[in-house]
Amino acid sequence: MDAIVGLAAAGKTAVFRALTSGHGSSASGSRGEHVGVVKLPDERLTKLASLAGARKVTQHEVTLHDLLAIVGPGAAPSPDAREAAAQSDALVQVVRAFQREDVPHPLGSVDPDRDVKAFESELALNDLSVIERRLERIDIVLRSARPAERDSHEREVELLTRCRSYVEEGTPLRSLLTDPGELKALSGFGLLSLKPVLLLFNIDENEVARAAAVEAEYRSRYQSPSTEVAVMSAKLEAELAELSPEEAAEFRSELVAGESPVGHILHLLQDALGLVTFYTTVGDECRAWTVPAGTPVVQAAGRIHTDMERGFIRAEVINCNRLLDLGSVAEAKRHGELRTEGKQYPVQEGDVIHVLFHV
Ligand SMILES: Nc1nc2c(ncn2[C@@H]2O[C@H](COP(=O)(O)OP(=O)(O)OP(=O)(O)O)[C@@H](O)[C@H]2O)c(=O)[nH]1
Ligand SMILES: [Mg+2]
């Protein structure tokens, strides 16, 4: 689950509608929050399916949660929304860049750079209080801990103290912590600045024709580890998503709006999460999967079926673009391009994987 967050009236709900309309299903909660499941648009998957003659195509699904403002100003921060953000895998942080007199900005003016900073410092404040509370608890536990237990508590104190100094210096934890052991140790605390972020600048309708240039500019300023950057004119995209593809295409060409940014944005979200996509064809089903970059193929196989992990023999692997160029698996074999990989092979972005196993 990825949470859509941001200041009040940044356009969170408009982003949610733009990303989910026509691409998935959604349901509303009692407090105005929404949950939606989006199928990740994937041109490579469509092509692979037709190459394989697959009748069933299963896209990767992303679950999005449209939240109320989790921080002020301008809105009473919602503790429920904050809790939902703490439990999410990543944050889609909507930043208002559109001008509109009739929709007042809670801080009185439209200033995306200020809002990014304001939001980051709210995340930092949240994390400081989480860290302080945890340190106080360990302190109490340590007083009566047996020598055998002290070690792990002391290591946790060291890690949390280090996190506290990062946060106090104003550095979000996501851009500093990469050690898998440390990330695991911190995973239960709901530290918000540790979550991967997609910064999504919600731009004016009249900027869509130069969206790519605007995006490049924001990216040069804000892209950092576990932080991706994109732009979208959310209200416009939400409206276009309600139209038939033909009508939408007509409006897009009038607005010189380029293609729908939805696929691009969802893929950037996967990038922020450090996920790679791989593909399988089993029977008549062609399917896209995601796993964290670096996942050994034997574990990736376990995502498909536990038998495949237990009885893993080897995997036949080819990059999807290479396979699409060659036109068929048979042709790839003839060119010796179907590689054989063992258990520990780290899955690469775009791999087409055939797992050989016995049970
Ligand atoms: N012109 C313009 N208006 C927008 C855009 N995105 C959102 N709005 C408008 O701004 C207002 C607030 O948008 P919402 O999507 O409700 O914002 P929100 O962040 O969900 O607001 P809260 O949930 O109340 O915090 C609505 O009137 C939207 O129609 C945009 O890209 N352009
Ligand atoms: Mg909303």
Domains of the chain in sequence order = 2-42+59-110+195-271 (3.40.50.300), 121-193 (1.10.150.300), 294-357 (3.10.20.30)
Tell me which residues have their CB closer than 6 angstroms to ligand 1.
Answer: 6, 8-14, 68-69, 75, 98, 100, 103, 202, 205, 233-235
- Ordered strands of the 285-292 beta sheet: 56-58, 285-292, 275-282, 351-357, 312-319, 339-341
User: Within 13 A of 108's CA, how many CA atoms are on the CB side?
Assistant: 0
- Cβ atoms of residues 66 and 93 within 8 Å: no
User: 283 CA to middle of ligand 2, Å?
Assistant: 42
Q: Please, is 147 exposed, middle or buried when counting C-beta atoms within 10 Å of its C-beta (0-12, 13-18, 19+)?
A: exposed
Separation CA 2–CA 184 (nearest Å)? 18
Q: Which ligand is nearest to the CA of 11?
A: 1
Ligand at shortest distance from the CA of 14: 1
Q: Return the residue whose CA atom lies nearest to atom 25 of ligand 1.
A: 8
Q: Which helix (H) or strand (E) holds 88?
A: none
Q: What is the pLDDT of residue 75?
A: 61
* Contact in structure between 67 and 58 (CB atoms under 8 Å): no
Label the pairing between strands 2-6 and 61-66.
Answer: parallel
In tens, the pLDDT along 30-57 reads 555 789 999 999 999 999 999 999 999 9
CA distances from residue 191 to 43, 87, 280 in whole angstroms, order as listed: 35, 9, 35
Strands 312-319 and 339-341: antiparallel
User: Is pTM, for the whole model, over 0.85?
Assistant: yes
Task: Label residue 68 by pLDDT band (50, 70, 90).
Answer: confident
b/e 98-114 (16+ beta carbons within 10 angstroms → b): beeeeeebbbeebebee
Q: Whose CA is nearest to atom 12 of ligand 1?
A: 9
DSSP string for residues in 129-150: HHHHHHHHHHHHHHHT--HHHH
C-beta of residue 15 within 8 angstroms of C-beta of residue 201: no
Average pLDDT, the chain: 92
Per-residue confidence (pLDDT) for residue 66, from 0 to 100: 92
Q: Count each helix (H run) and each strand (E run) in the chain, helices first.
A: 14, 13
Whether residue 73 is preceded by a cis peptide bond, meaning omega within 30 degrees of 0, is yes
pLDDT recorded at residue 23: 56
Cα-to-chain-centroid distance, residue 333: 35
Reported as a pLDDT band with limits 50, 70 and 90, residue 297 is very high
Q: Name the pLDDT band for 169 (thresholds 50, 70, 90).
A: very high
Cβ atoms of 87 and 190 closer than 8 Å:
yes
| Residues in a beta bridge with 316 | 340, 354
CA 255-243-262 angle, to 5 degrees, is: 70
Q: How many Cβ atoms from other residues are within 10 Å of residue 222's Cβ?
A: 17
- For the chain, what percent of residues have pLDDT higher than 90? 79
User: Hey, whose CA ends up nearest to atom 30 of ligand 1?
Assistant: 235
Q: In whole angstroms, what is the distance from residue 15 CA to residue 289 CA?
A: 24
pLDDT > 80? residue 144: yes
